[in-house]
Structure 1
Amino acid sequence: VSEPENVSESLPITIKNDPKLCRRVLGVVIDNIEMGKSPQWMRQRLEKSGVRSLNTIVDITNYVMLETGHPTHVFDYDRIKTNTLLIRPSKKGEKITTFEGKGYTLSGDDIAIDDGTGEIIDLPGIAGTKNSVVTNDTKRILFFTENNDAHRIRRTCMTLGIHTYASNINKNRPDPETAKIAMLRGIQLYREVAKGTVASRIDDQYEKSDDPKPVTVSSEKIKTYMGKQLPTQQIVSILTPLGFAVTDELTIKHYTVTIPSWRRADVTIEEDIIEEVTRIYGYHNIQSRVKIGEPVPQSSNTKQYWMTKVKHALKYGGFTELYTSSLVSSELLSTYGFDRKKCIKIKNPLSEEGEYLRPSLIPGIVQALVENKNRKEELRLFELSRVYLENNVVAPSHGAIRNQPVQEPTMLTFVIHEPDTKQSFYKAKGIVESLFDELRITNYLPRRQAGELRVEIDESCPIANQLHPIRRASITMKQPARNASRNMRDAGGSNSETMQTIGLIGQINDSILVDIDFDMLIRYASTKKSYTPIPEHPPVIEDMTLTIKPSTHIGPVMDTIKTASTLVKEVTLTSQYEDKLTFRITFQDPKKNLSDKEVGEIKELIKAKLQI
């Protein structure tokens, strides 16, 4: 479409633009417009495109937008008070009313059009306003198109919640070169369909950027990426219809390609050109080939390896894995005792349900349990995922401090819900010990010492006051002092063993909760397997009854018995009556048969260690 000739300039218009807001602005005044019903062919095309037909003036703007891919707008010329359009950033608190009658308060720095009096008459690229919209009495219009800053358009749409056909196009940076095509096409339709006459020159304000440099494409690289060599003429025939200009001075090794204006935002390097060639050629036409070479062995000591191993272990234990949201509400944090001042708040939350990054998996998994436990008598849930803590914030379950710029520790949390809560506590304890066995944590120390359950829990833990006063314990690891450098921050002096709390277990409401720092847990894990040959000599199994104070924990007693001698292979509690406990002890020497005297000496040693 060519520009109109012999144009009258009887109706002037002044446009003042800020190039930072609009890359290109075009405007023209059209007089003697006939308002009415659009022709049938235009109405049909609009309706098939999902656009409702209104009248001649509005339909032409929508038709041009669909045809050219660039939004356009129209003002009632007589309602522009000073015949001036000032494109400026909006001020915070300014109010507008759209042509649909909806009121909005602007947050500031939005792209706005002022009529020269300080009053906003349009949000360009998003929505027109009621004070400049065309009416049935409109005879003179200002046909207008602008190429806006996409980032501002996107932000305004999100802030105000306005999403239109035009705003969706503007958010994706339409080609400013297309704006002139849209303007000329609109003028043509207003003259032919609405019988209008051009009453001003076309005001075109465009600070054209430098043309991008042509991209040189290597034919060898095309072959490398595609896996086959394409003929030169085939490459030219693919790129030319897409708007790319390939120079005539072609060599066997290189092509020089000029990028069309509407692709300059996404085609900038050699690989982009190769992608276009491959896309049109067809990925399905590229023959698949099996890679030649030996597969790289996968490491069996990575974090991902241990995550998979733990997930499988819990799955076989009847647990269902959850993926709860990383965003939690302020109310949920308060419910479980977390200090919101120490939690990471989202600057621009989408809803009140996701104001904070979760500092623990506990709120999410307990909430999921509450929503599902009424449907089943027994429910076992677990989650293995990251939590988010501010620098030097005490971890929620065990009091460990991580001196890292950004804390994103991986936590393992699981819950058990059963009718018998007391029994569930010991089941959870057994699951933790089974998990230690699966990870071979006993390589460091004897089994029960490697994963000892202690009753004491750090009262600074946010959920400490919500746990059962008795059915609660911290999960504490022991290591020899020579390994204390592995983040044993709470080790003291020159003791032969160091202690580190890595989690907790306790009853919350009517369920049992276990929360473990997974990153710390896998530091103790091992992939090493040991082989113990079948003993040639039979074991000696004897029962030993001991008088123990009622307040004594049985676990440490069994640990003491087992560590009294290397010949003690297994200890189990068989019966209990008041303060008398009967233990079944297995004695065995792999090199010889044990005599009654030797077994008796070990028993005396056990009594001495237990101070009985």
Structure 2
Amino acid sequence: MKISLDWLRTLFPTDKTPAEISALLTSTGLEVEGLEELESVPGGLQGVVLGTVLTCQKHPDADKLSITTVDVGDASPRNIVCGAPNVAAGQRVVVALEGAVLHPTSGEPFKIKKSKIRGAASEGMICAEDEIGLGTSHAGIMVLDTDLPNGTPAAEYFGLGSDHVLEIGLTPNRADAASHFGVARDLRALLRQPVQLPDVSHFHAPVQAEGQAIGVQIEDAEACPRYAGLLLESVQVGPSPEWMQRRLRSIGLSPINNVVDVTNYVLHELGQPLHAFDADQIGGNGIRVRRAAAGEQFTTLDGAERTLKAEDLVIADAQGRALALAGVFGGKTSGVTEGTTRVFLESAYFDPAVARKTAQNHQLKTDASFRFERGTDPHMVPLALKRAALLLQEVASARVAAPIVDEFPTHIEHTSVRLLLPRVEKLIGHYIASDRIRQILTDLDILIVEENDVHGGPEWIVSVPPYRVDVTREADVVEEILRIYGFDHVPLRTHNAADFLAGFPQPDAELLRRDVSQLLSGQGYSEIVTNSLVNSDYFETAEQPAADLVRVLNYNSADLDVMRPTLLHSGLEIVRHNVNRRQRDLKLYEFGRSYHRQPDGSYKERPTLGIFLTGNLQAESWQQPDAKTAYHHLAGAVLQVLRSLGHAQPGQQPVQHPYLNGGLTLLLHNQPVVHLGSVSPKVLKQMDVNQPVWYAELDWAWLTKKYRGALTVQELPKFPEVRRDLSLVVDLGVTFEQLRQIATKVEKKLLREVNVFDVYQGENLGAGKKSYSLSFLLQDPERTLTDQAIDQVMQKLMTQFEQQAGAVIRK
């Protein structure tokens, strides 16, 4: 939305600079996204002054040129060669000085330079009106009648000034600010200065219509609670005056004619849409506000033939012919033309929902519908009508021919809101004196109609005007207080606290699935989708008791008679199918569900992610030897999935899965969430797969529920990390995970990472022994570690390894 600062100052006089006004409006929520300076004439006539022609002689070498001396207020006159036929001594003229850049009405801008014309020096240019962009005449130079001194800027003589246009990013809830007057109301509350509404006190209408009056009948008072109209005669349709065209252009509107321009002017000045009908096209001298008939045909101003719906509201004449889509767009046959002499002006309030549906039904977005569908001020209807009538009297010689017709069958009341004063401080987090709150509400036209003392503190009942459609609750009133009081005036406390914590929404499972799919696909994995029904023969083993299976009672095939308890077997069917067709190198994943019968006889299904890896890691190539897939390739993919879900360091224990041999079960919060390892040879034989397969099964339901967010932010460390290595001999039954847990419990502050970089078993270690070589990364976020601090940590680690794991430290 664009706001002209010069136009705004007619409603709210202020000496604040454009930048200051921008900052004030932004602080109230009317964010100024752009500030542009507009000049009435391009270049602003910089370097163009008034002068007096002292002498004028014919150029000796050119019949059509004259050599003049011109006083421009300097210490000495200037010599200027002029080609205008009407130049003469004694004239007051407009002079462009050396260095001035002129913007002619047509053509490219040009710069005035000191030059010689046919041998005569010329130190400027005496200007015609088209040469400085003030008109189109080039018959001769401009001759002025003025007593202003020589050297006076021409912009001052012509009354030219620059305007500033504010580009406001209007939010949908602030329909009340969709006009210059609406913006002025916020400035009034901020600066505590009155707004000057246009003076309509000299509007006069005859007591009775001079001729045939135009009546108004509202058939749907809920859709149109108020409708007012005024008949004008002797209207002379033509161009608008320059001042009105200039203001409309400044906010991006193109002038059309004086009648239409007045309706647009009042719309953007007061926020009340108007519509002008050619009164001679209103059949039966009457207006009917009615619902459209389903399938009714109507031609709008743009020439489009539209089929109306029963929910559309139309303005029709007394004979039933539709004239306009109420609050949205006018009709082709009832609009004002050059031949119009009688105008019926409409000013109304339409229900926002009705206007919105009509605009959406016909894909019409106009300045009027923008405001009606968000909510206008029903009490602005008569004022806007009077303002438009006075303007039409001024610019179109119009005459008011009948009294205003104002039908207001459904009165729109103010909104009553209960405001508990202690809630103001509680919601804002800062105490504001009650007198200041009272002042802010008064300046916002929110009246205090009742004051009570209730349990919990003072209570006010406030009355909110209907043009503030977004203020309906106590929190809305508090927001109004805060935006005028100023967010910048609310200090930050040393210790902030709140007695309410909003619940965190559950993560979107589909978005998480998409992200993990992209992660795995980026590593070369292909997604598969398999059948949830499988053959019960796969599970007639001790590993999967038959009582745990979910059997299908009405199966169509004996090969598909149970719901799968794991994704493994259905995935191995895909592996077998591909291997049998010489596609041996496979990286697959599937999002599916596994099904389980509970001990109590109930059934449970669990979202699961299965990952399969088999064959060579990459295609055969002469450049490098074949590399078989291994456990760590699968583990790397699994850990990346966990990190993407916000789980960086899972616990470990030997795999606990009935169909896997060798591998790990990963724990999060002591909950097993991943099983990964090598598929049992017994299962591979049963599934007729003749090559090793690595498989991981992730509890997708748990991971989705416990999603912690992939994005974590922390300050970069300021101090260096230190690495220390340690070799120790332990029993074969001691795992690296046990050693890692001992280390993290012993040193929680400085230890950042534990890693194993070598494992050795040999006869020289003794029977039942192995050697681990471990690396430890230490870092203090507050200081550089000293050798003494590092040695203390390592000594504690070695002591605990000896005591808890029976380790022998190799030195």
Shorter-chain TM range is: 0.5 to 0.7
* Distance of 1:298 and 1:193 partners within structure 2: 58
Give the CA deviation at 1:502: 5.5
CA distance in 2 between counterparts of 1:250 and 1:530 reads 57
Distance 1:135 1:103 in 2: 20
Equivalents in 1 of 2:433, 2:460: separation in Å? Answer: 15
Contact 1:125–1:166, Cα closer than 8 Å, also in 2: yes
Contact 2:349 2:376 in 1 (8 A): yes
* CA 1:75–1:557: 2 relative to 1, 3 Å: closer
Q: Does structure 2 conserve the Cα–Cα contact (< 8 Å) formed by 1:60 and 1:189?
A: yes
Looking at structure 2, the residues matched to 32 and 295 of structure 1 have their Cα atoms a distance apart, in angstroms, of 68
Aligned pairs for 1:275-314 within 5 A: 275-289=479-493
> Residue 482 of structure 1: which of 595, 599, 607 is its match?
599
SS of aligned partner of 1:114: strand
Is 1:17 the counterpart of 2:222 in the alignment?
Answer: no
* Residue number in structure 2 paired with 1:454: 569
Q: Which amino acid aligns with 1:14?
A: G
Deviation at 1:150, TM superposition (A): 1.3
Counterpart mapping for 1:352-501 below 5 A: 378=524, 398=532, 451=566, 453-455=568-570, 477=594, 482=599, 485=602, 487-488=603-604
**Deviations 1:357-409 (Å, cap 9, x if unpaired)?**
xxxxxxxx8xx99xxx9xx9947799xxxxxxxxxxxx996379xxxxxxxxx
User: Per-residue displacement from partner, 1:59-107 (whole Å, max 9, x unpaired)?
Assistant: 1111111111010001101111211111111122222222222222223
SS of residue in 2 equivalent to 1:125 = coil
Among 60, 65, 75, the residue aligned to 2:277:
75
Aligned to 1:175: 377
> Are 2:426 and 1:254 equivalent residues in the alignment?
no
> Residues of 2 paired with 1:501 and 1:530: CA distance?
15
Which of 233, 237, 243 does residue 41 from structure 1 map onto? 243
Three-state SS of the structure 1 residue aligned to 2:483 is helix
Q: Does the 8 Å CA contact 1:99/1:128 hold for their aligned counterparts?
A: yes
With over 3 angstroms needed to count, the CA separation of the structure-2 counterparts of 1:247 and 1:526, relative to structure 1, is same
User: Does residue 189 in structure 1 map to residue 189 in structure 2?
Assistant: no
Quick check: 1:266 aligned with 2:467? no
Cα deviation, residue 117, structure 1: 2.8
Instruction: Give 1:260 deviation, angstroms.
Output: 4.4
Letter in 2 for 1:529: N
Counterpart among 401, 421, 424 of residue 222 in structure 1: 424
Counterpart-to-counterpart distance in 2, 1:199 and 1:553: 97
The partner residue of 1:90 within 278, 289, 292 is 292
Determine if the alignment matches structure 1 residue 529 to structure 2 residue 670: yes
Compared CA separation, residues 207 and 303, structure 1 to 2 (3 A): closer
The 5 Å alignment of 1:574-589 reads none
Task: Show CA shifts across 1:104-134 (max 9, x none).
Answer: 2223320112223332111121111111011
Q: Deviations over 1:400-451 (max 9, x none)?
A: 9xxxxxxxxxxxxxxxxxxxxxxxxxxxxxxxxxxxxxxxxxxxxxxxx984
| Rounded Cα–Cα distance in structure 1 between residues aligned with 2:459 and 2:500 | 37
SS at structure 2 position matched to 1:200: coil
Q: Report the secondary structure of 2:237's partner residue.
A: coil
| Unpaired segments ≥5 residues, structure 1 | 315-319, 323-364, 383-394, 401-448, 459-467, 489-499, 508-517, 519-523, 532-543, 560-568, 570-591, 594-612
Looking at structure 2, the residues matched to 110 and 545 of structure 1 have their Cα atoms a distance apart, in angstroms, of 72
Structure 1 counterpart of 2:515, one-letter code: E
What is the CA distance between 1:43 and its match in structure 2? 0.9
Deviation at 1:527, TM superposition (A): 4.3
Identity %: 25
SS at structure 2 position matched to 1:454: helix
SS in 2 for 1:30: strand
Match of 1:119 in 2: 321
The SS at the match of 1:35 is coil
Structure 2 portions without partners, runs of 5+: 1-199, 535-563, 574-582, 613-644, 646-664, 673-679, 696-732, 734-766, 769-811
Structure with the largest fraction of strand: 2
Say whether the 8 Å CA contact 1:99–1:130 is kept in structure 2. yes
Match of 2:363 in 1: 161
Distance in 1, Cα, partners of 2:681 & 2:421: 87
CA contact (8 A) 2:450 2:461 kept: no
- Of 438, 441, 455, 1:236 maps to 438
Deviation by residue 1:170-204 (Cα, 9 ceiling, x = unmatched): 10111111111111111211222222111112111
Q: Judging changes above 3 Å, is the alpha-carbon distance between structure 1 residues 112 and 399 closer, same or farther for their aligned structure 2 residues?
A: farther
1:224–1:92 Cα change, 3 Å: same
Q: For the Cα contact (< 8 Å) 1:453–1:473, is it kept in 2?
A: no
How many Å apart are 1:484 and its aligned residue? 5.3
Kept after mapping to 2: 8 A contact 1:177/1:261: no
State the alpha-carbon separation in 2 of the partners of residues 127 and 90 from structure 1. 14
Question: RMSD between aligned alpha carbons?
Answer: 5.2
Aligned to 2:447: 245
**SS of 1:135's equivalent?**
coil
Q: Deviations over 1:500-554 (max 9, x none)?
A: 68679799xxxxxxxxxx9xxxxx99745399xxxxxxxxxxxx999x9797457
Q: Give 1:26's match in structure 2, choosing from 219, 228, 235.
A: 228
Secondary structure in 1 matching 2:471: coil
Aligned pair partner of 1:140 in 319, 342, 355: 342
Match of 1:259, SS? strand
Q: Secondary structure at the match of 1:455?
A: helix
C-alpha separation between the residues in 2 aligned to 1:275 and 1:554?
Answer: 70
Matched, 1:199 2:401: yes
TM norm structure 1:
0.54
CA distance in 1, matches of 2:446, 2:501: 45
Contact 1:33–1:195 (CA under 8 A) maintained in structure 2: yes
Structure 1 distance, partners of 2:609, 2:495, is 48
SS class of match (1:321): helix
Q: 1:206 to 1:381 in 2, by over 3 A?
A: farther
Compute the displacement of 1:480 (Å). Answer: 7.6
- Given the superposition, is the C-alpha separation of residues 49 and 397 from structure 1 closer, same or farther in structure 2, using an over 3 Å criterion? farther
Shift of 1:24: 0.4
> Is residue 34–residue 196 contact of structure 1 (8 Å, CA) maintained in 2?
yes
Question: In the aligned structure 2, how far is the partner of 1:259 from the partner of 1:223?
Answer: 20
Is the CA contact 2:530–2:570 (under 8 Å) kept in the aligned structure 1? no
Aligned-partner SS, 1:277: helix
Residue in structure 2 matching 1:106, options 308, 322, 327 = 308
The residue matched to 2:225 in structure 1 has which SS? Answer: strand
Q: Distance in 2 between matches of 1:7 and 1:201?
A: 6
Q: Give the Å deviation of 1:286.
A: 1.2
Query: Contact 1:454/1:475 (CA < 8 Å) preserved in 2?
Result: no
CA contact (8 A) 1:455 1:474 kept: no
Q: Any idea what the Cα deviations from partners look like across 1:474-503, whole Å, max 9, x if unmatched?
A: 967576852753x34xxxxxxxxxxx6867
Q: 2:515 aligns with which of 285, 310, 321?
A: 321
Deviation at residue 288 of structure 1 after TM alignment? 2.2
Count of aligned residue pairs for this structure pair? 399
Change in 2 beyond 3 A, CA 1:288/1:87: same
Q: Which amino acid letter does the alignment assign opposite residue 140 of structure 1?
A: R
Q: Which has the higher contact order (CA 8 A, sep 6+)?
A: 1
Per-residue displacement from partner, 1:328-369 (whole Å, max 9, x unpaired)? xxxxxxxxxxxxxxxxxxxxxxxxxxxxxxxxxxxxx8xx99
CA distance in 2, matches of 1:235, 1:138: 52
How does 1:40-59 map onto structure 2 within 5 Å?
40-59=242-261
Per the alignment, do residues 198 and 303 of structure 1 end up closer, same or farther by CA in structure 2, a change over 3 Å counting? Answer: closer
Q: Report the AA paired with residue 287 of structure 1.
A: P
